Chain A
Amino acid sequence: MEELAVVGKSVTRIDAEEKVTGQTVYGYDLVLPGMLYGKALFSTRPHAIIKRINTEKAKNYPGVHAVITGADAPWIHGETIKDTPFLAQGKVRYVGEPIAAVAAVDEDTAQAAVALIEVEYEDLPAYFSPEEASKPGARAIHEDYPKYHKADFIVTSPLPNVCEHFKLRTGDVEQGLRKSDLVLEQRYRVPAIQHAAMEPHSAHAMVDDSGKLTVWVPNDAPFRVRTETAEALGLPPEKIRYINPYQGGGFGSKGGLKVERIAIALAYHTKGRPVRVKFNRQETFVSTSTRHGAIVRIKSGVKSDGTLVAREITIYWDAGAYSEKSATVCIRGSLPSPGPYRIPHVKVDGYAVYTNKPVAGAFRGYGIPQAAWACEQHMDDLAKRLHMDPLEFRLKNIFVDGDITYWGEELHNVGLKETLLRATEAIGWGKTEKLDPKGFKIGKGFACISKPTRTPTTSNASVLVDGQGKVTILAGTVEIGQGCSTMLSQVAAEELGVPIENTRMHPLDTDVIPFDSSTTSSRSTFHMGNAVRHAAIHAREQLAQMASGILQAPEEHLRFSDGKVFLKKDPHHAITLGEVIRTQLGPDGVVRGNGSYTYELGKDVDPQTGHSDHASAFYMYATQAAEVAVDEETGRVRLLRVVAAHDVGKAINPLNCVAQVEGGLAMGIGAALHEELVVDNQGRVRNPSFLDYHLVTSLDVPEMKTIIVECPAPDGPYGAKGLGEPGLAPTPAAIGNAVANALGIRIYDLPLTPERVYWAIQAATD
C-alpha cells in the first residue's frame, strides 16, 4: 500500500479558525429576516389531565401574533413509537412538558404572554421509578400504548408502562448457575444525567406560501428528523427542508423533535413569518432529554478457575414520559450488557419503562455506560471472591478474534485485549508505588467495554472538483464538534491527492445534500468515511480518464498528488486538476463523484432471542483505568490520574482521536463523581442549572493519558472504526473499582459523591 499523505496525520481542524474568531454561526446565533420569537408554557404537574386552558389574555397581549395549544397542533411523533404530541393533548406526563406556545414580536413579550395562559389540571397518580411503574397493577401513563403506531421490531410486554422489552436467550442460565462453583447477585443503579452541551437548544421554522416547511436547527440527524416530521405532519418529505447551522455540542440530545416541534407548530400560525424558539438553560435541562437512569440486576455463575459460565441480567431503563429513543437504547444497551466476555449461558431482560419524569433519550454511549457500571464492578467482585486478580480474571474470559458471542456473532479484529493490557500497564496495575498518605486510601481500578454501532445504516456523499482544483464535499454528517468535517476532508484530500486547504464542506441542507442516516452511534467515520472515499475515488477516476488523454498515458500510469496528476514514472510530466477540468469541460466545468456506503451484512436482532450473526458493522473496544485517593474522613474521592486505551481501528486524525477520548473521559468523570439530574417526589427537577448540576471544571480533571490502539477493520475506511462514544463508557466503573480497591467497600449507586462514599464507609465500620 502506498504511504498515506493526509490520512493518519494530525492535521489542524478545518473549522478551527472560524471558531477561535467568533465567526461561527450556531443555531443559537441565527437571525432570520422578519422572525418572530416563540416561548412555550410547560407543565407544572407530573401526571395530570388538562381540564381547561385559557389563552384569551395571552392572545390579547400587545405584540402577540399567535397563541397555540395542542388543539392547534394535533400531531403525534416518535421515531420508533408514535407517542409524543407536539404540544400536550389533553394530559401531561411530566413536569416540563410543553402545553402551549406563543409567538410574539420579541422574546420578552412572548414570555410575558405565556405567563398569562391559565391551565387547570386534574392530578393523576405519578410514577418516578421504573420498577414501581412496571409493577403489575400500576396505572398506565400511556392509556393508548397498545394503539400507538410502532416500529416492527418493538417487543411489547404484559407488564404496565413497558414500552419495549428486550430479550436475549442463550444456553440455559438456570443450568449454568447450578453448575457454577460461585454465584453472585448484585443490584446497581445509575441516575439520569443531562447532556449539558454548552449551546442550549433552539430552532427556527417557517412555512412558505407553497406549504413548504423549512427548519433551521442544529440537529444531529437532519434526514431522520425530516422523516419523523413528515410522518407526523402527513407531508411528503420533499415538502420539508432541514438546514443545519453549526452545533455547539449535542452528545445525543440534539436529535429528534424537541424544541423543533414548538417552532414548527408556531410556524403554522404566523402567516409565513419565521419563528425562533430558544430554550434557556433550565428548559434545556428539563424539557429536551436526559440519559436513561437505570437499575441493573446482575447474577453470575463462575467456575473456581475463573471461567464464566452463566450471567443473568435484568435492566430497567427509565424512559421518562415519552419513548423517544428508549426502545433502541433498551435493545442496543441491553444486548451487550453482560460485557465483552465469553459466556455460554446468558439471559438478559431489558425493560424500557415509562415514568412521569423528563424524557430520556440518546446519550453518547447509548446504554453501554449504565450496563458497564454494573458489569465491570461485578467482575471485580467476582474476582475478589475467587481470590483472582481482576486482570487475570478478565484475560481468561474476554472476547478475542474468532469468538462466538452470546448473541451468536463471530468476532474479528478485536483490539480489546491490547487495550486491556496497555491500560493496566500504564496505570501500573499490581504495583503499589505510593503508601497511603495520612487520611487517604489509594486505589486503582479499570474497566472494559465493547460497543456496537447502529446497523444497518446508509451514508451517501458527493465530491465536486472545480476548474480551480477546489474540492467541495457534500456529506450529511453533522459537525457537532467531533471533527467530522476535518476527517472527511482528509479522506477526500487523500483520494484526490489535493492539499487539505483546497477542500471545503458544503453546509448541511436536506434539499441539497445526499441522504445520510444520522450523526450518531459513532458511525460517521466508518460509514460516511467510506461514502466520501468512494465519491472521491469516483471523481478521481473521471479525472484520470480526462488526464489520460492530455498526458498521453494510460490511466493506470497516473498518480494524483499535491493537486496535480502526473506520470508515476515521470512526476515532472504533470498537470493540475484544475487544468484537467478547464481543458476538458471549460472554465466552469465541475467533476462530480458520487459515493454510497451501506453495511449490508447486518441482520436485525431476533426479537425473541436477541440473536444476530451481524449485530453491528463494527465494534469499538476500550479499557480505562483510574487511580484515586479517598479521603476517609469526608468520603471525598480525588482522582489522581486516568488512562484510556481505545481501539479505533485506524486513527485518521490522531490528534482528534485523543481529543475525543479526553472529552469522553471528562464526561465520564463527571458522571462518576457528581452528575445527577435530581427529580423530587413531585417530578420536579431540583438542579436545572450549572450551579447545581455539576459538570467538571478544569480543576476537576486529573492527568489524562490516552493510548490509541489500531486493530484495523477491513471494511472501515483505511481500517477505521468509530470512536465518538466509548470515551465515557467505562470511566465510572473504572473509578468505582478504584474506590472499592482503595476502601475494600463496594458502592453500587452513582454518582460517587462525598456524602455517598462517606455513609458507605460509616456503614462498613459500624
Chain B
Amino acid sequence: MNTRIQIRLNGKILTLTVPPFRLLLDLLRDEIGLTGTKEGCGTGDCGACTVLLNGKPVNSCLVLSGELDGADIVTIEGLKIGPHLHPVQQAFVQEGGAQCGYCTPGMLMMTKSLLDENQNPTEEEIRFALSGNLCRCTGYAKIIQAVQIAAAELRKDEAGK
C-alpha cells in the first residue's frame, strides 16, 4: 500500500516510498529523522509542527504523505542560509525569543512566512500572524520584539541589495 512520492525538502529532491496515510510530521521526524519540527498537540491547535508547504505555513500534523507528491517543504532545518543563521533565527537568539525552545521552530517558520509576505509588519500584524503558535514560556513579548528586529534587519538587507 506504500506510495512513491518525490518531494523537495529543504532544497533537496527526495524520492520516498511511504505509506500514504503517514502524517507529514511523522514522516519528517520518524522516517527522515528531522526532529526539529515538534509535536505539541497533534490536532492543529498549537502550531509547534509548522512547516512551509509550497511556501505556505501549515500544521504538518494534519497533512497526509499521500498528498505530497511534487511538494516543496521547508522545515526549521532548512532555515539557515548556508552556515549563517537566518535573520529571524538571529533575532530570536539576540532578543531572548526562545526559552524552553519547544515552540521555537514553529514560531520561526511562521515568522519567516510572515516576513516573506510583509517586510514591515505592525505589532498587531505580528500578533495576528503568530496567534496560531502557542508558547507557554515567554508571554510572547520577547518573540514579538524578535520579529520586529528581524523585520528591520531584513529591510536593511533588502535596501543594501
Contact = CB atoms under 8 A, between A and B. Distances in A.
A and B directly contacting (CB within 8 A) = yes
Nearest to B33: A31
Contacts of A480: 100
A656 to B, nearest CB: 7
A695 B137 CA distance: 11
The dominant DSSP class at the B interface is loop
Interface string A474-514: 00000011110000000000000000000000000000000
A481 B81 CA distance: 26
Nearest to B138: A663
Given A690-B41, A701-B139, A22 B75 contact: yes
Given A22-B77, A25-B35, A248-B102, A689 B41 contact: yes
Contacts of A12: 93-94, 96
Nearest to A19: B101
B76 to A, nearest CB: 4
B41 A22 contact: no
A697 B99 CA distance: 16
Given A17-B93, A197-B100, A698-B127, A22 B138 contact: no
- Most chain A CB within 10 A, of B29, B127, B132, B135, is at B135
Contacts of B80: 21
A417 to B, nearest CB: 26
Interface residues of B, number: 53
B4 to A, nearest CB: 22
Q: Which of B85, B101, B127, B133 has the most CB of A within 10 A?
A: B101
Interface string B122-143: 0000111011111111111111
Contact of B139 (A17, A19, A249, A663): A663
A246 B99 CA distance: 12
Contact of A20 (B37, B98, B135, B144): B98
B102 A249 contact: yes
Q: How large is the interface on A (under 10, 10 to 19, 20 to 34, 35 or more residues)?
A: 35 or more
Contacts of B46: 198, 690
A391 interface: no
Interface in B95-122: 96-105, 108
A22 B76 contact: yes
A281 B43 contact: yes
A704 interface: yes
A741 interface: no
Nearest to B124: A699
Contacts of A281: 40-43
7 contacts: A12-B96, A17-B89, A19-B104, A22-B79, A481-B101, A481-B102, A662-B141
Interface string A527-547: 000000000000000000000
Given A22-B35, A691-B45, 19 more contacts: A12-B96, A13-B93, A13-B96, A20-B85, A20-B93, A21-B79, A21-B89, A22-B77, A24-B101, A663-B136, A663-B137, A663-B138, A666-B140, A667-B136, A689-B45, A695-B134, A697-B134, A698-B140, A701-B141
A446 interface: no
B27 to A, nearest CB: 14
B85 A198 contact: no
B95 to A, nearest CB: 8
A28 interface: yes
Nearest to A665: B139
A16 B136 contact: no
B48 interface: yes
A198 B141 contact: no
A251 interface: yes
A667 to B, nearest CB: 7
A22 B102 contact: no
B23 to A, nearest CB: 12
A680 B27 CA distance: 37
A482 B99 contact: yes
A196 interface: yes
Given A480-B100, A689-B41, A698 B93 contact: no
A655 B141 CA distance: 12
A659 interface: yes
A606 interface: no
B150 to A, nearest CB: 11
Given A198-B48, A199-B40, A281-B42, A701 B100 contact: no
Given A28-B39, A481-B101, A662-B141, A249 B96 contact: no
A392 B40 CA distance: 46
